[in-house]
Structure 1
Amino acid sequence: MTAAALALLGLALLACAEEPDTAPTPGAIPSGSSAKPEIVAMLRAADDAPYHAADAGGRAWLERDEDQLPYSVVSTPDRFRIVFEVGPLGIATGGGIYLQVSPFWDWSTPQTEVSDALGYTQILVDDPSIEFRAATLDQQLLGIEVTGRALVAGERLEILYGAGPAGAMTDRYAERDSPFWVAVDGDGDGVRRVLVDSPTIDVRPGPARTLLFQVPSVARPGDAVRLTLAFVDARRNTAIDFEGEVRFPDAPTGIELPEVLRFEAADRGTRSIEVRVHEAGVYRLVAQSGDLRVDANPLLVSAEGPRVLWGDLHGHTNLSDGTGVPEDYFRYARDVSGLDVVALTDHDHWGMLPLAQHEDLWEEIETQTRRFHEPGRFVTLLGYEWTSWIYGHRHVLYFEDQGRVYDSVEERYETPQSLWKALADAGEPALTFAHHSGGGPIATDWEIPPDPRFEPLVEIVSIHGSSEAYGAPGAIYDPVPGHFVRDALDRGYRLGFLGSGDRHDGHPGAYQRDPPEGGLAAILAETLSREAVLEALRERRVYATNGARILLRTALAGHPMGSEIPVNETGTLSGSLYLSVIAPAPLESVELVRSGRVVDGVDLEGRMEVTLMREVEGLEAGEYLYLRVLQRDGGAAWSSPFFVTE
């Protein structure tokens, strides 16, 4: 087996105004960055590989024994019989068959060495004249090399994955159609190709472990508000088999709550109901099922102030390097996380079947995005991730039903400028967002100014951590100094902040509290529509959290966050800075960041609600100002900056 052969199967499994005139030389590597040109070279080599007609020849399917269920269960040893039938052109001596089990997240690596260990795999053949050599080649990758005579059309072999007493461990995350990727090198030249119809199995969730309870953050007196309740297992998979009751103890006056909410089998673990609120105030609702008692995020009922739409605009499914299918991704966002806005952003060229090369996959994303879009109830955005391993990753969002995947691996779309030009030429409303800019998989190259027509915001926090500033709380792993969001602001870029999950577990909007991991966008818009969301994002009326549903309001000299505020006739700006926070957990502190430095802070002493005023003086053109709020449990929120202009 050649190194090139290994790369070609495992290539996707290593993992996420005026037009600017700064244009890098195509193929140039930014200095001081974490650019990975070797990955781009590998992907292009795979695209240019000389595939033989026998590559990807044959078919494979999964057979379950009589004593087995037709599905698997999360985090449970199981046994899988994958049958492969040789295609019409056969498989030459030196060729092979390959099994790639999903590397996301806990599947056992198939191995042939230790019979009583997890992942032990046997290769069974009916004809003893078939000779082969099987070995683990990489993460969850097994190669079966034909060492004797060539295999002829119609011959079969069985791959018994989990053949030993320990079985093979299934993934921790539930999903439909979890793939067992099978690939074939038909002519023995070291180049293999994946069977697009490789077998799959459904992985079902475990028993209900906890209850998630989400409510809107802002409503008006007299509004009908939606309560979203979902039972989930230990890994936040939807507990689809749950049946039982939920009550609302200590219900406050001013809101109409049912005495009992019944979960039937047909509800598959989730319920969404509307209740009416009559009186202004802050509501902290509690739901109880048996001994399980959980709090919802706070609900502010007020005739004043903007509404908050909670969104997760960045996530993945098994169409690239994540878990689950698009349909279930959108359903989880709506019915479990209770989000208002969501986008699915699978990679353009980072998966077993690259999105940019398989129109049917992109069409499936378009179809499910349209299917779940319900203005006034739930807004879906079409998107994908432009996965540049040179300039940094950006996700692209469209605000209509259709859009195009511009492939970062193609030379004509390999730079941010070429991406923005393509979007401009298409003439459709779209936005791009740099993410994990401070490090992680790859840092953002801030030498290239973001195009203000398409990039008014930056994703400051996600499952990878915070890219706010080097050394800031909760900072991203593998940090690269000079590439954080503050570094971009210090260059004069006017970027608002949003968070999003970048989750690969099929759970958009999920928030892990210990340690805090996640990301949400709090979009300030009065109506729930694509048009209103686009307007708010363009105007930077948005703030970021790491998943905690913190209600944050702020204004400087009467201007909302994200504003560009001109200096007065003296060349400076002074004014009152207003802050209001209503938090789901005790607050630790609030800090004021001015032009790259923390210049003020208040110990909030565990309060859940706080209103503050500060006078800010002597701001000059080119300065920026934003607020960072921290909870004691690690939850955090960042306002979009105020920008001082001439």
Structure 2
Amino acid sequence: MLRLISVAALTLTTFPALAQLRPSAEDIAALPKTYSPYVERSTRSGGFAENLLWGDTHLHTSFSMDAGMIGTALGPADAYRFARGETVTSNTGQRVRAVRPLDFLVVADHAENLGVPLLLAEGDPDLLNTEYGRRFYDLIQSGDAYGAYDLWGREGMTQFTDVIDDADINRTTWDRQIEIAEEFNEPGVFTAMLGFEWTMSGTLEDPGNLHRVVVFRDGADKVSQVLPFSLFDGQDVEQLWAYMQGYEDATGGQVLAIPHNGNVSNGKMFAIERMNGEPINADYARMRMRWEPLVETTQIKGDSEAHPFLSPEDEFADYGTWDKADIGGIIPKKPEMLPHEYTRTALQIGLQQLGEIGENPFKMGQIGSSDSHTALSTTRDENFFGKMSSGEPSPDRHKSYVIQAFGGDESLSTFEYDVLASGLAAVWARENTREAIFDAMQRKEVYATTGTRITVRLFGGWDYAEEELYRPDVVEIGYDRGVPMGGDLPPAAQGANAPVFMVGAMKDAWSGNLDRIQIIKGWVDAGGQRQERIYDVAVSDRRKIGADGRATGPVGNTVDEAEATWTNTIGAPELRAVWKDPDFDPSLPAVYYARVLEIPTPTWQAYDEKRFGIKMEAESVPRSHQERAYTSPIWYTPEG
């Protein structure tokens, strides 16, 4: 003990000046600014979104009638466990695990008779005391689950009739779903956001997918004060918005809705008529953007970014194209429907409406999500567990129906081999909480991918410089002198004659290198006509960008389709660019977003053919594809 004391004393005696090096409180207070730059980032007005979070806002479990009645046994707890990275046993008894956990998940089961499949499996006496509850139960017990599902569809959904019509049953299952979400929600680690799906699909005579996922910012204390709003409560989306307004008024909470992929809506998702047939007006446009700031551009049921008919000069437009018919396989697709189904064209229609009614009804950010009905959010092609439980891995799964045409015309049916392993919602948020993720969605600082985790940043301003691309404070520069994806360009800087965009992308470490970054521009010309143009702004492998703004050649393809393999010997792990619009007209409104393409990689169909030793005979089966990301846009509006 004495020896230790003497050593300490010697140290203090040897270095007597050390105590004088500590700055005083007055010295610190006199400093011009906080030394740590990250303090000001987090507290400044608006803040910085530093965290890229990955999630799925559209996943169904056994609580949904069109899942739980026809083979999906996994419930919300299983969905959360899988999303958090655990190994689970699938609906067909196969062990499955994600390559990486998700950061957040919205279990968005259908509001229409929510949880009834679970109560049927449990033999709930209150449900069995209803006429249709007993009929469903008897059919299922006899081995005819699809008969029970068909009965519900024909006499319930397509007639807008709640065949159960018991509020107590609705309350029981909704409370159970909320309780499970609360159990798995862990702020800062994993976010279980509360939500449901409103499932308006039209009638057999007039079909169209107008589904919305409703997402709450809040927890059980507020969300449990309401029940999900179903098709049986109202068939007009404006009735859904009224429900949302009522929720906010009653609870002080916040809620938004996300329209689904428009490609199976038969021209209705982005129509310029209200659902009651009247033309949309400024009030409608403001209301739609108040409640629906985002759109689900890509998912299992096809990709809705662009269509080759609408974008004939876009060689990448024909990706995951579903254009046979509507959600029920009833009415064949007609060319005049297409402009009102695809996000790119809808953004341009929004600019037209801005000029005609004074408001933009389609000023939407973009996300992707799965719409899987297996409780498994599997968006990786080598790990894809299908759309429905019938589409889980097996040698014959590709032959299963996803949409069996109601009218019996098999050319309008869609099969598992047509589906995409898509997509994901990428969110630039300040932290992993319900509130921060919701706020990022509201400000549209989000983007879509078709299933891989490509990192993308996009900023728009008036004076970004090429040499700033690789500075360590490049993100701060992006925010300070412009706006991120989802924003409106600020007024032009002094002397600026065209907007400048700063964009960067980094590959998914588990997927293909990057082929290119593109800026997609849409505008309305002086005659009020929609226009679009694609610019390649960064390309890999030392290719050049020609005077027309396009890469001089394709990236190539290393995919061995027979072996379902590829190599990252082409492409780039990272691409960045500062791009100035060379065709800018300050008198015309415009919208810009970035599309990032990977090099070709195998599809889930190619993996199945290799693993099962099969051959899918359908001509439409793709065996390689280019995964991609779509950012939320940045808008330019002329002053005055």
What TM-score does the superposition give when structure 2 sets the normalisation length?
0.50
Select the structure with the greater relative contact order (CA < 8 A; seq sep ≥ 6).
2
More helix by share: 2
TM-score for both structures, normalised by structure 1: 0.49
